[in-house]
Structure 1
Amino acid sequence: MRIGLQLGYWGAAPPDGAGKLVVEAERAGFDGVFAAESWGSDAFTPLAWWGASTSRVRLGTSVAQLSARSPASCAMHALTLDHLSGGRCVLGLGVSGPQVVEGWYGAPFGKPLARTREYVSIVRQVLAREQPVRNDGPHYPLPATGPGTLGLGKPLRPITHPLRADLPIWLGAEGPRNVAQTAEIADGWIAVYFSPRVAPLYEQWLDDGFARPGARRDRAEFEVAATCPVVVTDDPVAEKAKVKPSLALYIGGMGAAKMNFHADLFRRMGYPEAVEEITAHFLAGRRERAVAAVPDELVDDVSIIGDREQVRAGVRAWREAGVDTLLVGCRDVAQLRAVADAVLGAQDDALPSG
């Protein structure tokens, strides 16, 4: 089991002490550092800035939004970071949702699976640098065609030679078709919310993708990275309560009333009534009641919270459920060290003696 420090995206201001956390994560044995974006801070700049103080950890976007930049621009960001870090970039991508894509980026959200497939194909062409980049698909035509174009577009190869043609591309995905396509075309899956209890369902979706003709990887070569609150504590009740506001936000507010992929995921986990109650309260502005409606069992499903031995047991359960990397947010250095001790210790416990 590997650990990635999840920096997430910023609130009203940059987080205090993030640079120190990044350095300490490398010292403590974390495998990677990851940054996200929503509609404020971007995912690449924090990795370049704070990642400059590291030499070993992978630097990953978790996730960069497709609509934030064109495929060619995204490939430029990734190849640049990969060169600067000496081959440590992981490009995590996601479609976001219609509220952000159409409300913030001013782009249509339709056909997210087809858009993802085209996007990844173009990024891979740029990184391969075998020939000028072309795309005949309707979402990202290269050269551009249609109204407003001059017909003078020229297919190009990147001036800068990418360091790695096989720079890993991970996709954030939640639904069955999205996860299956991820297994088909990507190098890894970022599970925004994961529960070992329903792992057989995820494995079925992944297997559907691996079985497709031309699938890029098999399961042994593919990385499953799951976002997971991991807290070592003697007061699990208090710590679980701290997880509920974020869950209520994603279930009730990070999507439209009739299209919220996070809410759909928790319905599949077996919480349809709780999802409806949380959503109703959140959309009506009753946020405290939305938080209170998050069941304790749901928190237990998607997090690992308890004393050192309970956390170690939880880590082993997530690993047995198919998770290769835990993406963990840490408030301070003390929590980071405790998480490293528990997660890496659980791996040591599993090694045969002698």
Structure 2
Amino acid sequence: MKLGLAQGYWGAAPQPNFVEMAQEAEKLGYDSVWSAETWGNDAFTPLAWIGANTETIKLGTAVVQLSGRTPTSCAMHALTLDMLSNGRLILGLGVSGPQVVEGWYGQPFPKPLARTREYIDIIRQVFAREERVTNPGPHYPMPYGGEDGMGLGKPLKPMVHPLRNKIPIYLGAEGPKNIALSTEIADGWLPLFYNPYDESVYASSLTNTKPDFQIAQMVTVNITDDIDAGLLGVKHFLSLYVGGMGAKGTNFHKNLFERMGYADEAEQIQNLFFEGKRDEAARVIPDELADAMALIGPKDRIRDRLQAWNDSKVTTLLVATTDKQQLRDMAELIL
């Protein structure tokens, strides 16, 4: 199993040691470092900063939101960063959700599967640089032929000659059809939640997985003697997504918890969240579920629990930590 460093999105500001953490991960033999975006920082710029201060570690976006950029704009960002980093980019993409897409980007949220398929096809055309980029639509028509246009659109190829014509593309996906789509058109999958002790919820979506298909999973790591306190932190993270990252009737994270067999808990968490009772909502998450999705406890305990991850379909464990010693400990345990 490979190791990566998950740095997530910023919140109010970046972690002050985010470059140092990436440099330490590179020294320790980590395969990749990943940056995220939401309605704040973008995913590419931190990786450019990291890439300028490292040599070999791969640079992954987990994930770039489709509605934030047109497909060709996203491809431009990707091929630019890939060239500047000497071929180290992994492009992670995701549709996000209707609250963010419509509320932050001011875009509609129609047919996420069809849009994703079109989006990736256009990006791959840019990377390939074999023909002028065209797409009939309906989501991203190129050249644009709408009645409100001037009718002067011209198919183009990128001026830049990509360093790599096949930059790896991973999809962030939660729904069964979206996960299955990732196995069809992408090189890897970025789950949000994963239980290595029970992979059945994803089994039907991964039936056509290619031999070299990658699954990179973020895992909260906390090497501590206080297991209960460590698990409570994980519960707060999980409950935020189940209760707060989505509308009452449309929450993809809540839907996943329901498919995992925690429908009653998911409903209770959401209700408590809407009542402003975040601490109570976090405590609804069962200990065994939080424990399964994270690596919490003394080093010997984590060493034992790593076996489930080694036996799973996950190919890269993305360590979510801001502590250099935890990075070193995980390298010792896995690498």
Q: Say whether the fold is shared (TM-score over 0.5).
A: yes
Alpha-carbon offset, residue 116 of structure 1: 0.3
Task: Render the CA deviation track for 1:72-123: whole Å, top value 9, x for unaligned.
Answer: 0000011011101111000000000000000000111110000000000000
Q: Which residue of 1 aligns with 2:313?
A: 322
When structure 1 is superposed on structure 2, of 265-274 and 309-318 the one drifting more is 309-318
Contact kept? 1:43, 1:64, Cα under 8 Å: yes
- Show CA shifts across 1:32-83 (max 9, x none): 0000001000000000012211111100000000001000000001101110
Q: Which amino acid aligns with 2:199?
A: A
SS at match of 2:33: strand
| Contact map agreement 1:35 1:46 (CA 8 A) in 2 | yes
* Residue 60 of structure 2 corresponds to residue 60 of structure 1: yes
Partner Cα distance (2:249, 2:92) in 1: 26
State the shift of 1:332 in Å.
Answer: 1.6
- Matched with 1:43 is 43
Q: Does 1:234 align with 2:253?
A: no
Instruction: State how far apart, in whole Å, the 2-side matches of 1:331 and 1:14 are.
Output: 11
Map of 1:130 onto structure 2: 130
Unaligned runs of 5+ in 1: 211-217, 345-354
Matched ranges for 1:116-265 at <5 A: 116-207=116-207, 209-210=208-209, 218=210, 220-265=211-256
For 1:175 and 1:343, the matched residues in 2 are separated by 30
Q: Which moved more, 1:309-318 or 1:330-339?
A: 309-318
C-alpha distance after superposition, 1:207-252 (max 9, x if no partner): 1x44xxxxxxx1x211011111122222222111111211111010
SS at the partner of 1:221?
Answer: coil
Give the deviation of 1:188 after TM superposition: 0.1
Q: Give the aligned residue type for 1:83.
A: M
Q: Which amino acid aligns with 1:29?
A: G
Identity across matched positions, percent: 54
Partners of 2:201 and 2:260 within 8 A in 1: no
> What code does the residue aligned with 2:19 have?
G
Range 333-342 or range 21-30, more displaced:
333-342
Quick check: 1:95–1:112 contact (8 Å CA) kept in 2?
yes
Q: Quick one: which amino acid aligns to residue 20 of structure 1? A: E
Moved more, 74-83 or 194-203: 194-203
Q: Deviations over 1:309-335 (max 9, x none)?
A: 322232221121111001121122112
The runs of at least 4 consecutive aligned structure 1 residues that moved more than 4 Å come to none
Residue type of the partner of 1:337? R
1:16 aligns with 2:43: no
Query: Counterpart in 2 of 1:347?
Result: none
Distance 1:147 1:284 in 2: 47
Among 294, 319, 322, the residue aligned to 1:303: 294
Asked if 2 retains the 8 angstrom alpha-carbon contact of 1:231 and 1:339, the reply is no
Deviation at 1:204, TM superposition (A): 2.4
Find the aligned partners of 1:83 and 1:162 in 2 and give their Cα distance: 7
- 8 Å CA contact retained: 2:295, 2:305: yes
Q: Deviations over 1:243-269 (max 9, x none)?
A: 121111101011111111111111111
Distance 1:309 1:330 in 2: 18
Aligned amino acid, residue 264 of structure 2: E
Match of residue 278 from structure 2: 287
What residue in structure 2 maps to residue 30 of structure 1?
30
More displaced 10-residue stretch of structure 1: 328-337 or 119-128: 328-337
| 8 Å Cα contact 2:221-2:326 kept in structure 1 | no
2:270 & 2:304 partners in 1: Cα distance? 32
60-69 or 295-304: bigger deviation: 295-304
Q: Secondary structure at 1:144's aligned position in 2?
A: coil
Distance 2:97 2:244 in 1: 11
Structure 2 Cα separation of the partners of residues 291 and 116 of structure 1:
33
- Equivalences, count: 335
Specify the alignment match of 2:265 in structure 1.
274
Deviates more, 1:168-177 or 1:238-247: 238-247
SS in 2 for 1:109: coil
1:312 aligned residue: 303
SS at match of 1:196: coil
Which amino acid counterpart does residue 117 of structure 2 have in structure 1?
R
Tell me, in whole angstroms, the C-alpha distance in 1 between the residues paired with 2:200 and 2:268.
27
